[in-house]
Amino acid sequence: MDLARRLFLGQAAKVTAGAAFVPFASVAEASINTQPPRRGGDPGKRYAMLIDLRRCIGCQACTVSCHIENEAPLGKFRTIVSQTEVESMETGEMAQFMLPRLCNHCDNPPCVPVCPVNATWQREDGIVVVDSDRCVGCAYCVQACPYDARFINDRTQTADKCTFCAHRLEVGLLPACVESCVGGARIIGDLNDPDSQIAQMVAEHRDDLMVLQPDKNTRPHVFYLGMDERFVTRPSAAPGLWDVRNGEGQELGYEYGEH
Amino acid sequence: MYATAKVKNWGMNMENIELIAPRYGIAWYPWAVQYFFLIALSYASLWLAMPGTIMGRERWKPTARLALLGAVSTAIVAPVTLLADLHQPLRFWHFYAYPNNASWMSLGSLFLPLYVVLVLALAWLVWREPLRERADQSGLQGLIARLAPLGSWATPRWLVVAVGLAAVALSLAVMVYTGAEVAILKARPLWHTEYLPAMFLLTGVIGAAGLAIVVNRFSGMRHPVAGDQMLTVILISLVLAGLVAGGWLAQGLAINEGSVSAALDTVRDNPDWRRFAYWGMIAGIVLFLGAGMSEVLGSWRGTRWVLGLLALHVAWMFRWTVLMEVQTVARNSAGFQQYVVDIGSQGILGIVGSFGLWLAVILIINLFVPWRAAFGGHDQTATTSAIQGEPSYG
């Protein structure tokens, strides 16, 4: 928690996007949009993930294994590795930047207080979960997450998201994405346990860690090591994947278009 | 300084290409547009009916007749469209079994049914007197006219005022919650501004006044005073909406506010958004000039209903742009999310269907309730001659 706050304060100064000026919303948040109490989970733990981007090769093994483990519908992902071709700041040469994305299990999750039926909540161990039996599928939480970490599952017609594979953690297994990561880039563990690998890496790399969109004050608990700060907010890039153009450069439509 | 230099360097070259990113679809469907449109028409129509209903102002009674029909019909259909936007509509009872007082939507789930009940109660109180006068008619109309008033007691004036005031109080709660629900979302900078609820409110009033004008024309009531009053309401609301939009832009440019910079980026980067921006401005200006000219030139009055439709269009398009198009603004990936309006119930069919339901509700009320005779007006038997013989006031 202390770390998230420190990262936020440190990065807020770096990020050029100015803090939002929203008196009305601030007032509303003070009274209504506050975090409900956490429930369930081990109160002694605080799960978090550290992603060592120096070890990520963009193989998408995490994407695939998560998809199989959690049975997400086609085209929807609990985790995915964004890949962008960028110009290296050091050499000026083109290089690929990989950015694994997943739920940040924020300490101040904006998706939780908006839920009209308390179907999503944060456990005492920091994991944000959804009760798909209670969820009404209003998708308010999908709108509220700045990381696009939530989606409506077409099969269950309810909100779906990464749970750090809580069902696997409970029986002593690693999350599917961590288990399958060929480079060992994803490290999950308990921040409150000073002997855990994540706690030790956080201590070692404290000044080099970054989180996504710190200006939103969500206090994410997925920490990136070896991060390019141009990707902390929405990266400036041309879309190369979905555009399909004919010989004259006219847009034909989008690949995998559903309609 | 180092960071700033790097960011500048970034802005200089645009060769960076996104290679892999998922498509993030939209999560709120056109049903949401229909709900925000209808509920705003409802609360704003209720307010337009108030001078004639609560204060008993004679000059506002024709408007009150028209606006009450608008408020009731939209209050009935709006919750249906809201329910349809849920992916699990049959679980709506979870709102009441597991309320969350931290959530604006949860608060709204309490305000909305109370509001609808109060509007229906108000309309019943207002319409039961004209209904009773039809009690001697035969058939279903007569039966309803005998049963619906629940007795022959005279409607006490204080009860109309009390229920009217309660409905207005709930309408304010509905207005606040629908605006705040969207405006608190930090995740979408274009929504996250305190100016958005004000624009929902003002475009809602513009739409409600437009609706009253259209109903005035097509119900055959063709009351010239009501038409002029509604044009004045549209003119004032347009000026206020222009001031709010101007204030949003000016303040945003002055302090680099998130929603304004996001809007400018979007309009710069996307031709569709430029079209929306131009269209919104042109529609507003045409409506303003048209309403102004029509007030000055009495001979234009016959075409007021065109302006009424344009006012409804402005109110609807504002919601379509805000709720649907903003969802195509990517939060984490390059470019814009593709959105094609679905043919089925999540798209065109839903839009057409909810408007069809609304029309059906209006027609059913029109068939069984002599709403024109409320507040001392004339029943519809007078309307045929109005269309055929009397001069048209639009």
Considering CB atoms only, which of A34, A84, A236 is closest to B11? Answer: A236
pLDDT tops 60 at residue A198: yes
Q: Is the Cβ pair B94, A144 closer than 8 Å?
A: no
Nearest CA in chain A to B97: A117
List all residues 6 or more positions away from A71 whose beta carbon is below 8 Å from its beta carbon. A155
List all residues 6 or more positions away from B73 whose beta carbon is below 8 Å from its beta carbon. B358, B361, B362, B365
- Residues of chain B numbered 302-341 and touching chain A (CB < 8 Å): 327, 330-335, 338, 340
A154 vs B: CB within 8 A: no
Q: Is the Cβ pair A80, B335 closer than 8 Å?
A: no
**What confidence score (pLDDT) does residue B377 get?**
84
**What confidence score (pLDDT) does residue B380 get?**
59
**What confidence score (pLDDT) does residue B322 get?**
95
User: Per residue in B85-143, pLDDT tens?
Assistant: 999 999 999 999 999 999 999 999 999 999 999 999 999 999 999 999 998 999 999 99
Closest CA to A100 of A75, A83, A76: A83
Q: Is the Cβ pair A21, B258 closer than 8 Å?
A: yes
Interface test with B, best of A117, A141, A234, A251 (most B CBs within 10 A): A117
Q: What is the mean pLDDT of chain A?
A: 86
Q: Is the Cβ pair A82, B11 closer than 8 Å?
A: no
Residue numbers of chain B with a pLDDT score lower than 70: 1-14, 380-394
A88 vs B: CB within 8 A: no
- Residues of chain B numbered 163-202 and touching chain A (CB < 8 Å): 180-181, 183-189, 192-194, 197
Closest CA to B126 of B369, B374, B365: B374
User: Which residues in chain B touch residue A146, judged by CB atoms under 8 angstroms apart?
Assistant: 186-187, 331
Considering CB atoms only, which of B6, B98, B251 is closest to A134? Answer: B98
- Residues of chain A numbered 175-214 and touching chain B (CB < 8 Å): none
Q: Is the Cβ pair A158, B22 closer than 8 Å?
A: no
- Residues of chain B numbered 26-65 and touching chain A (CB < 8 Å): 27-28
Q: How far is A145 from chain B (nearest CA, A)?
A: 6
Q: Is the Cβ pair B100, A117 closer than 8 Å?
A: yes
**What confidence score (pLDDT) does residue B298 get?**
72
pLDDT tops 50 at residue A53: yes
Nearest CA in chain A to B194: A24
Considering CB atoms only, which of A18, A35, A116 is closest to B105? Answer: A116
Spatial separation of the C-alpha atoms in residues B312 and B40, rounded to whole Å: 11
Considering CB atoms only, which of B11, B15, B187 is closest to A87? Answer: B15
Quick one: DSSP state of residue A155? T
What is the spatial order of strands in the sheet that A94-101 belongs to? A94-101, A80-87, B17-20, A238-239
**What confidence score (pLDDT) does residue A20 get?**
37
Nearest CA in chain A to B94: A117
Q: How far is A174 from chain B (nearest CA, A)?
A: 25
**What confidence score (pLDDT) does residue A10 get?**
53
Q: Which helix (H) or strand (E) holds A243?
A: strand A243-245
A37 vs B: CB within 8 A: no
Spatial separation of the C-alpha atoms in residues A145 and A135, rounded to whole Å: 16
Q: Is the Cβ pair A237, B9 closer than 8 Å?
A: no
Give the lowest-confidence range in A54-58, A102-106, B1-5, B121-125: B1-5
Q: Is the Cβ pair A138, B22 closer than 8 Å?
A: no
Give the lowest-confidence range in A4-18, A69-83, B275-289: A4-18
Give the lowest-confidence range in A17-21, A103-107, A117-121, B166-170: A17-21
Considering CB atoms only, which of B92, B257, B327 is closest to A20? Answer: B257
Separation in Å, CA A130 to CA A50, A140, A238: 23, 13, 34
Spatial separation of the C-alpha atoms in residues A23 and A20, rounded to whole Å: 9
pTM of the model: 0.89
Q: How far is B138 from chain A (nearest CA, A)?
A: 46
SS3 label, residue A134: coil
Q: Please calculate the CA angle B144-B136-B154 and round it to the nearest 5 degrees.
A: 70
Spatial separation of the C-alpha atoms in residues A157 and A247, rounded to whole Å: 40
Q: Is the Cβ pair B255, A21 closer than 8 Å?
A: yes
